[in-house]
């Protein structure tokens, strides 16, 4: 069954800017935190790849801001994969308010892997672990 993975997060004081909401630069950090937690939750912690000399990198990030989040908000970050290729995966992420489900932001993060400074195929164990979260683009 295809599903979206959910990672809960909470807006902390260091996420907030002078306008009283999450600073736009902090969204990249929150999204990365959710991706890292996702990998730990699906049994693909980054440390296991690092020990093999494999590193994930983001080659493209798009974030569309819909509504501000403020200090203390409880968020849910939904994660799924519309693209899974040999050397590239795309994390699709939605940040929503936990109580109401209101959409805060939408992000698309394209990632690849490198080893010894060269782009390599995405590890098969990672592709297998994320398969339940593959929801192809409807283009």
Residue 139 lies inside a defined structural domain of this protein: no
Domain housing 24: 5-133
DSSP state of 14: G
Write down the pLDDT at residue 124.
95
> What is the chain's alpha carbon radius of gyration, rounded to the nearest angstrom?
15
Which residues sit opposite 57 in a β-bridge? 112
Non-local (6+) Cβ contacts of 52 within 8 A are 115
Residue 80 domain-assigned (yes or no): yes
Q: How many domains does the chain have?
A: 1
pTM of the model: 0.92
Cα-Cα-Cα-Cα dihedral of 75, 77, 55, 138, to 10°? -160
Contacts of 33 (CB under 8 A, 6+ apart): 7, 9
81 and 134 Cβ atoms separated by less than 8 Å? yes
- Identify which has the larger pLDDT, 75 or 138: 75
Span of 10-14, 35-39, 121-125, 133-137 with lowest mean pLDDT:
133-137
pLDDT, one tens digit per residue, over 21-75 is 999 999 999 999 999 999 999 978 999 999 999 999 999 999 999 999 999 999 9
Q: Is residue 118 part of a domain?
A: yes
Read off the pLDDT of residues 94-131 as tens digits, 9 standing for 90 and up.
999 999 999 999 999 999 999 999 999 999 999 999 99
- With cut-offs at 50, 70 and 90, classify the pLDDT of residue 139: low
Question: In this structure, what CATH number is given to the domain that contains residue 122?
Answer: 3.10.129.10
- List, in order, residues 6 or more apart from 120 with CB less than 8 Å away: 54, 87, 113, 114
Calculate the CA 40 to chain-centre distance. Answer: 12
Beta strand pairing call for 103-115 and 54-65? antiparallel
């Amino acid at each position: 069954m295809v599903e979206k993975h959910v990672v809960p997060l909470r807006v902390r004081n260091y996420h907030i800017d002078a306008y009283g909401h999450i600073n736009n630069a902090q969204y990249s950090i929150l999204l990365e935190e959710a991706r890292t937690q996702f990998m730990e939750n699906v049994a693909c912690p980054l440390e296991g790849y690092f020990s093999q000399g494999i590193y994930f990198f983001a080659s493209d990030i798009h974030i569309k801001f819909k509504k501000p989040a403020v200090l203390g908000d409880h968020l849910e970050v939904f994660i799924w994969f519309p693209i899974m290729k040999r050397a590239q995966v795309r994390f699709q992420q939605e940040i929503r308010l936990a109580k109401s489900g209101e959409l805060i932001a939408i992000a698309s993060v394209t990632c690849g892997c490198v080893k010894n400074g060269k782009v390599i195929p995405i590890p098969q164990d990672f592709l297998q672990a994320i398969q339940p979260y593959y929801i192809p683009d409807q283009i």
